[in-house]
Structure 1
Amino acid sequence: MKMKKTLLIASLAVNVLLIGAAGVIVNKQGGMGFIEEQYQAMKSKEEFPEYYRQKKDIFEALEGESADKIFLGDSITDHGDFQEYFPDEKVLNRGIAEDTTKGVLNRIDEVVSRNPEEVYIMIGVNDIAAGVKKETYAKNMEKIVQSFDQEKTRVVLQSLLPVNNDSFNNDLPNSRVDDFNAILEKVAADNNSEYVNLHPHFEDGNGQLQKEITIDGLHLMGEGYDRWIEQLGEQLPEN
């Protein structure tokens, strides 16, 4: 009997300690607000992030209009003001932060419906971060390219840019960026689209994104966008 009482007291003590530790963790994370956030995250069955869904809905709600150029991609595209570089043309930005090839495929119909004369695609760094297999990435890119009628739309695949791991994230290796760029070049060749290799014009000689043109090791400063547009002009033949 004495042994059972001792075990009961020990069990209660452990439970109190665990509850106390959980309370400390929750308090550090923001109290009840943290619990609510976690609950909502578990309850949500949405496949794509809120920002993605908002932007997709905004794009689809806009009245259909033809475009001279569309830039399609993730946050690196999303942050660019491409219309400023082509003031005499109708340019649409269809970048969405954190997007992947899966996300692009989920919204590609809206992009195609704009009947662009040219579409410039840069997507894949978030696929790398998410651990997407190279085979899956290649299939998704082929589907994206094949969504366009290349008799009407010039499809340009742009290489992924290097990452500066000192400033950004060592878990996103540039060796994977190189692997995905090789896939992009092959997809372009196999589907009679064009490939622009931006990568060597942004790396520092050691395979890293040049520090002076990035804000955080991944996203670009103004000089980076200037260089991007300059390389499109230099590498692409005129239609």
Structure 2
Amino acid sequence: MNDSIIPNMKRFPETLVALLLALLACLHAETATPKASGVRAETIIAVYGDAAAAPTPRAGWSFQWNARGKLGDSTGYAPLSYDEEARAYGVRDASGALRADAPGHTISRGIGYLDVSAMRDKDGVARCYIASYRLSADSVGEVWINHGNLTTPLRYGTDLQVYVNEQLKVQSLIKKKDRFAQVFRFNLGRLKKEDVIHVAVGPSENSPKAAGRLFYVIEDCPAGQKPAEPVNIISPTLHASAPQFGANGQIGAAYADKHKAHCAAVVATRPELVFIGDSITARWPQEVLEARFGKHRPLNLGIGGDWIQNVHWRVQNGTLDKAKPKVVVLLIGTNNLTGKFTPDEIAANIGGLIQAIQSKTAQSKILLLGILPRGASIKDEINGAIRQTNAKLATLSDQKQVFYLDVGDQLVEPDGSISPAVMPDKLHVAGPGYTRWMKAMGPTLDKLLNERP
């Protein structure tokens, strides 16, 4: 309240002042307190994905294995050690190296995946990977494990068990070998300060081992409510439209920033030529684009790691809302191949993405590029799937608004090899590759950019 109005209140009868103060208090209470209806009130307590990616466990966390064999008896658990060279937590042998026959988790480079492993020993005892978190305060409501993601790349089943202290709360058998992550959430009830949540991953009955990628979030949610639906952090499912999620189950902060910057760049640049896709698009040297198509104000809207579903989400959420380009160059799908999508599924998803682009900028022509070859040679297995996919992508062209072009052969040497100078990591294109790519694509773009509507 502004202090300058208080002296003036003395002119009013005492009862009127009281009424005014009461009214102001009510108004303040209404504006300061959010309405319960429709408001999500869960609070994140801890994020496994962030904690497990650190070389030193974060406060409250520990990574263990059931060294004595029995789950549910934490006195028999032993800590895992971090090996900086291997970027992994595990059990050390006498020489100090991490044992291959003991549980642990590996932090993959660059993309934050956490690969966990567990196995049965020679006596048939399940040796499990255990991530433990100790609560620093009583829960306000009920504690949930949410945004749980676990992949099962092996043909064996995976046993997921959750304990609070020594009490088994959840036991769930994750399906055998699924190309997509299994998504889950569990209610653990009200918990107290110093209670410990143990999430154990091990081989299912009669399985020799278990392995996969793991994410989950520990949340405090008001009693009687459910937290937000769990999201698939690892692998967007078929026909989904989703951003890239962070380990906390929310849109990744860096991803959101890039998306926002792209939307602003569209307004500032008013591009006639837009490139949209994943990291292969994002790495286009701007000077190459400017040298060839500078007068058309080329704008790069690539984001590393994108699947078709991620680009679909960006298109639906503003990337092209204020863009009226003459041509949109679209290259996407190689990450979906890594995620085990079939050629039919990729073509169907890209077809849906094209429709989404056309709904935002109907007058634009779309130049759909074939997925580029990968690996050391066109004989590599992945390139067979790429050729099958590209054959289906070619059928999406109507030669009126959607045009198809495959420049992949320009990135391959005469003997079928893929030069490290063109593709140093066997996936991403380097400078010489972009030069070849531009040479192959330039004439088609010239024609599309200069055609009258």
Aligning the two structures, in what range does the TM-score lie when normalised by the shorter sequence? 0.7 to 0.9
The answer (yes or no) to whether the contact 1:68–1:117 under 8 Å persists in 2 is yes
> Counterpart of 2:429 in 1: which secondary structure?
coil
1:211 shift after superposition: 2.8
Correspondence 1:148 to 2:358:
yes
Alignment of 1:85-96 (within 5 A): 85-96=292-303
For the pair 1:173 / 2:377, whether they are aligned, the reply is no
The question of whether the paired residues in 2 share the 8 Å contact of 1:124 and 1:180 is answered with no
The answer to whether 1:71 aligns with 2:275 is yes
Q: Cα offset for 1:158?
A: 0.9
- Residue of structure 2 equivalent to 1:5: none
Query: Which residue identity does 1:54 align to in structure 2?
Result: D
Give the deviation of 1:118 after TM superposition. Answer: 0.7
Counterpart check, 1:48 vs 2:218:
no
Counterpart residue identity of residue 122, structure 1: L
Q: 1:208 to 1:191 in 2, by over 3 A?
A: farther
SS at match of 1:88: helix
1:116-127 matches, within 5 Å, as 116-127=325-336
Q: Is the 8 A contact 1:163 1:208 kept in 2?
A: no
Q: Look up the SS of the partner of 1:97 in the other structure.
A: coil
- Contact 1:174–1:207 at 8 Å: present in 2 too? no
Matches within 5 A, 1:181-200: 181-189=390-398, 192-200=401-409
Tell me, yes or no, if structure 1 residue 136 matches structure 2 residue 136.
Answer: no
2:88 corresponds to: 29
Partner-residue secondary structure (3-state), 1:136: helix
- State which drifts further: 226-235 or 142-151: 142-151
2-structure distance, mates of 1:229, 1:63: 22
Structure 2 residue runs of 5 or longer lacking an equivalent are 1-65, 91-105, 108-112, 115-130, 132-146, 148-214, 219-230, 234-242, 246-251
Equivalence for 1:58: 261
Q: 1:91–1:197: structure 2 CA closer, same or farther, 3 Å change rule? A: same
CA distance in 2, matches of 1:29, 1:93: 36
Name the residue aligned to 2:425. Answer: 216
Kindly indicate whether the alpha-carbon contact (under 8 Å) linking 2:266 and 2:299 is maintained by their aligned counterparts in 1: no
Task: Return the alpha-carbon distance in structure 2 between the equivalents of residues 215 and 161 of structure 1.
Answer: 14
What amino acid sits opposite 2:267 in the alignment? Answer: G
Among 74, 77, 94, which residue is 1:19 paired with?
Answer: 77
Within the alignment, does 1:234 sit opposite 2:292 as a pair? no
Q: How big is the shift at 1:145?
A: 1.9
CA contact (8 A) 2:397 2:403 kept: yes
Task: Tell me the amino acid that sits aligned with residue 223 of structure 1.
Answer: P
Shift of 1:154: 1.5
- Which structure's residues are more often helix, by fraction? 1
Residue 203 of structure 1 and its aligned partner are, at CA, apart by 1.8
Give the direction of change, closer, same or farther, for the CA distance of 1:14–1:235 in structure 2 (3 Å limit): same
* SS in structure 2 at match of 1:211: coil
- One-letter code of the match for 1:70? V
- What amino acid is the match of 2:88? Q
Question: SS of the counterpart of 2:81?
Answer: helix
Match of 1:105 in 2: 312
How far apart, in 2, do the equivalents of 1:102 and 1:219 lie?
Answer: 20
In structure 2, C-alpha distance between the alignment counterparts of 1:154 and 1:219, rounded to whole Å = 26
Distance 1:179-1:52 versus aligned 2 partners, 3 A rule: farther
| Aligned counterpart, 1:159 | 370
Q: Give the 3-state SS of the residue equivalent to 1:111 in structure 2.
A: coil
**1:150-176 Cα distance to aligned partner (Å, 9 max, x none):** 86212101111111247xxx7x71111
- The structural deviation recorded for 1:148 is 1.8
Matched residue of 1:42: which SS? strand
Structure 1: 5+ residue runs without aligned partners?
A: 1-10
SS at match of 1:72: strand
* Cα offset, 1:206, TM superposition: 5.5
Higher relative contact order (CA 8 A, sep 6+): 1
CA change 1:124–1:114 in 2 (3 A) is same
C-alpha separation between the residues in 1 aligned to 2:388 and 2:67?
Answer: 55
- CA-CA distance at 1:180 after TM superposition: 1.5
Structure-2 change in CA distance of 1:192 and 1:153 (3 Å): closer
Alpha-carbon spacing, 1:63–1:18, altered in 2? closer, same or farther (3 Å) = same
Greater fraction of residues in strand: 2
Distance 1:89 1:155 in 2: 15
How many residue pairs get matched?
Answer: 221
For the residue of structure 2 that corresponds to 1:213, the secondary structure is coil
